[in-house]
Structures are given as structure tokens and as C-alpha cells.
Structure 1
């Protein structure tokens, strides 16, 4: 078995005595699509925030490619190739679809924004931005203001801006939330395509998509790991049926 690209040991986060995440040990293998699922309040987004350093753990360690990143800041994590999306689409509505991706490509260069860069460099970035937008199905909407895109297309744009940072690991926080059936199918296919050559860790409620896309699944309940394995394994576990399916029925 290859060495985990993301590994946590004893990861715990408490808020005024309440343990939102309790003693989570997680291993995400390189080149896989790994899902975290569970009912609302299970600790999934808190775990994401810990991994990407938007929250500091109360205790425990986080390793990325064998290096301890527990004390690093969010921007330092992103520069190492660990990049996340959010539940709410985060695009610049007043900018065009193309300009959103161009801005992300410039951000990849660190603090050097190319307002006065050479035409060759800008042409290269534009070509790359157009390529990314074609990959996510937005090639015909380059000049459209991002605010005018339907919700599902905004999520596709957000995925393009994430890809512009050339991440080694993508953390997708409920990438299909709020989508209609057609957008769910299109976005699931997109995730499958962009995952080639990358590692994806995703939080997702859509079990059909998880079953189709994911190599491994971690089920959380009340801030702890309930069970882990492939879909065939976790879907038959009585604890998952009781905690996840039962919990979802009462939401």
C-alpha cells in the first residue's frame, strides 16, 4: 500500500468543551477519490477546516506527504498543493468567467500580479485559462459575468479556478450541493476527469455520486470515525444504516 498523502492522528477540535471532532485518524492515499460522509453535525466541515488550517486543532497531528503541517497557515498549505473549495460558491461576480480564472492563474505566481507583464506571458495565461474553462464546460461563456451564471455553472467556474492553482490534492466541500439532476451528473463527470493524476478528498451527501465516484469512504458520526472502506463495505454496515441513513431521514 502506498504511503498516505494526507494522514491525521488523534485529530481533535473542541469548542468550549464540546468536541466537534474527536480523535480522528485518517489516511488518504495518493491518486484516489476519498469521501467523507455522515449526517449533519457529524464533523465533516470542521475536519476540512482543520486540514486546511482555517481552524487550529485542539490536539493531534496532520501530515501532508509525510511532513507535519499542523502549525502551518492556510496560505502555506495552499502553496504546498493542498487546495480546497467551499460549500458556497466563491467567485468574483463582477468579473467575467475568463477573468476569474486569469486572476487565479496570476495568484499561482505568488505576490507577482501581471498587470504590467509581457504580452507573451499574458497570452500564455489566457490560453491556459481558456483551456481550463473548456475542460469544465464553460468554453462558450468566457466573457459572461460570473454573477450571471446559473448556480451549477458557478460551481464549475470555482472548480476551474481551483485547478488554476495546479493542486496536488483537491478538497471539495459539498461540490454538488444545491444542484439539479442535470448539473449533478455533469459535475460528477467533471470531478472524475479532473481527478486523474490528482488526489481528491470530498465531503458529499449524495450517496449515489459517492458510490459511483469514490474509491474509499470515511463515515463520520458525532465527530468520530464510524467506519471506513469502499462503498460496498460501508453501505452494509449496520452502524452506518442507523447513524447516517436514519439521521438523514430525520433532517
Structure 2
């Protein structure tokens, strides 16, 4: 694969964040190739969540730049970044427990098309205009059989799939998945792994994930953080054999 600039959908340069005297992230460089699955891993306290919060503008960087799809987004607000197609799963909390699975996805589609004017007073008929796309999203994440189940009654793994479906309703170019396997039973891990693999067709995925077997199976490239800095980068084989990475995980634990 050529390494020209067009291949890089997300280019992070010297990203840093300080909270008073504490440096949470220091000089992080990150290049995510278009169409890849890229994992961000590291021990607890490594700065992974802070990086995600900086990329999606829940936090403003102290210094550094973030370029997404050729556009400098360093100072843009979170809502504008989502509209550009860089969307973090689970940032929306579009899972309304009393609404059905189908209704949840329909609300997310409505949000994309109409911004924050939800127009809940609109007729039921006009809301059904979103049904076709909502069914497509449910099919994509394997939830068609659960369409009329209240979201609050879904098993945990299916609820995570619904959260991903509501994210897909925003039509992202790039998905940021924040610990998609957290708290999952073994059988759900396999299902969500397969889902992430299928979603990567035509999209770019950056994920923070503690489950290293999932990282090994899914990732094209891995960036390892430790103490807020990039420790190593490469394929899973490369980083897993890196003495610095082994030392960081054994020394701190990856809980």
C-alpha cells in the first residue's frame, strides 16, 4: 500500500494535554490509515481515554494538532466533528431504555438529518420515513429480531450492538470505539468482534481495547501508550515482542 498523504485519514501531531502540573498526554503522534482497524492500547493510566477525549473534543488539547480527512479540526467543537464523520461510539447515549430498538435507531437518524430539532411533535407517519434506513442499520448489527424489544430489556452484549447501530446512524467515515468489549461475557466478545470486522468494510476504526486477544485478531496496526506517551507502534507481532511494551504491561498491569 502506498504511503501518500491521502491514505491517512487521521493525522495527530505532538498532541499534549496538561491538567495543572500533571501531563496526561505528552507529544503523541498518531497516523491512522484510511480503511484500517487501528488499536490504541496501554496499561491503566496510560492516557488512552484522554487521547479519545481530545480527538472528539470533549477536552481541548494544551498543544498539538489534529487533522481529520485533510481538515484541521483541533479547535472545532465536538458536534461539528461528528458532522464531519468522526464519531465516537457511546458518546451519544442514544439508547433510550423505554423506546424500542427500532425507535432508538430512528431517533439517531433523525438527529443526523435534522440536527438537534428532534420535533417529537411530528406525526408518527413522518417519523416512519426513517424506518427503511433504521431497519438497514439493525440488520448491519444483527438486531433485526430485536427491533420491537424495549432497549432497556436487551442483554448487555446486544445493548452494545444497539449503541453501535445508533452511531452508524450518524453515517461516520471513522468510528472511535471506546472499550467495546468492556464487561462482556465470552460469547458476546466473539459476536461484537465479528461485528467490528464487518463494520470496517468502507470505514476506518480506531479503538481503545483492553482485551489483547481481540486486539491481536482485529487490528491492522497498534499504537501503545504508556504514561501519556507513545511507547511503540506496529503490528501486533511487532509490539507484543517489544521489550518496552512487555515491561510496561508487567510493571503496571493492564487490568
TM-score range, shorter chain: over 0.9
Q: Which residue of 1 aligns with 2:206?
A: 201
Query: 1:173 offset after TM fit, Å?
Result: 0.3
Distance in 1, Cα, partners of 2:80 & 2:92: 22
- Which of the residues 40, 46, 56 maps onto 1:42? 46
Q: Which moved more, 1:212-221 or 1:129-138?
A: 129-138
Unaligned runs of 5+ in 2: none
Alpha-carbon distance between aligned partners in 2 of 1:8 and 1:194, rounded to the nearest angstrom: 23
Deviates more, 1:197-206 or 1:143-152: 143-152
The aligned residue for residue 105 of structure 1 is: 109
Q: Label 1:50 to 1:194 Cα distance change in 2 as closer, same or farther (>3 A).
A: same
- In the TM superposition, residue 218 of structure 1 has moved relative to its aligned partner by 0.1
Q: CA deviation at 1:124?
A: 4.3
- 1:150 and 2:155 equivalent? yes
Alpha carbons of 1:133 and 1:183: their partners in 2 closer, same or farther (altered >3 Å)? same
Over aligned residue pairs, what C-alpha RMSD do you find?
1.8
The TM-score with structure 1 as length reference comes to 0.94
Distance 1:187 1:71, change over 3 A: same
Q: 1:74 aligns with which of 66, 78, 90?
A: 78
**CA-to-partner distance for each residue in 1:157-181, whole Å, 9 max, x for gaps?**
0000001111000000000100011
Tell me the CA shift for residue 131 of structure 1: 1.7
Q: Do the aligned partners of 1:106 and 1:114 also contact (CA within 8 Å) in 2? A: no
Report the CA distance shift for 1:245/1:195 in structure 2 as closer, same or farther (over 3 A).
Answer: farther
- Give, in angstroms, the shift of residue 122 of structure 1: 4.0
Stretch of structure 1 that moved more, 30-39 or 143-152 = 143-152
Q: Cα offset for 1:88?
A: 10
Give 2:196's aligned residue.
191
**TM-score (normalised: structure 2):** 0.92
